[in-house]
Amino acid sequence: MKTKSVLFSFCFIFLFFSSENLLAQEKINLSKLNTIQSSSLSTKKVKGKVVKNINPSALKQGFNRMNLDNKNVLLVEFSNRRVVSVVVTNAQGIVLDRIEMGSVVAKYDCEGALCACEGDDECNDMFENAGCGSIASCANGTCWCLTLGD
């Protein structure tokens, strides 16, 4: 009887700790990232949406941070002079949405509330048809938007 109890306890503890890894979320340390300053942004209108253009010289290798509001952060991952991914995290750095730019095979791609595109025609199509809200940015021919709010 005691052996069954010990075996049951061991199995329960093992399942508990192994299931904890299943619930783990990707988290990015936001504290030491390059912050995109408002002075590095300019605005233009694309298909009726106001888009913030990021001066490419403001982007550093790795993740670049742009605060969206008190709860969310937009990260632009920059490598070899191009945007390689766009990520939305909460204020603690837990990844909510991510788009890898090499994976955008259609005119534009949406993952959750985040949409991204590469190229003028593709981005014009995204801004016109993807339901982009008022949060939208571009850098080096890559654009992205959030489909939340206006």
Residue % of the chain over a pLDDT of 70 = 80
CA distance 13 to 8: 9
Q: What's the confidence (pLDDT) of residue 11? A: 38
Per-residue pLDDT reduced to its tens digit, 2-61 = 554 434 444 334 434 433 444 468 899 999 999 999 999 999 888 788 888 899 899 999
pTM of model > 0.85: no
Residue % of the chain over a pLDDT of 90 = 36
* 88, 113 Cβ separation under 8 angstroms: yes
Beta sheet of 108-111, edge-to-edge order: 41-46, 49-54, 136-139, 142-146, 114-118, 108-111
Sign of CA dihedral 18, 22, 23, 25: positive
* 37, 64 Cβ separation under 8 angstroms: no
User: Which residue did the predictor score with more confidence, 133 or 7?
Assistant: 133
pLDDT at 140 over 90: no
Please state which of the ranges 11-15, 21-25, 127-131, 146-150 shows the lowest mean pLDDT. 11-15
Q: What confidence category does residue 105 fall into, taking pLDDT thresholds of 50, 70 and 90?
A: low
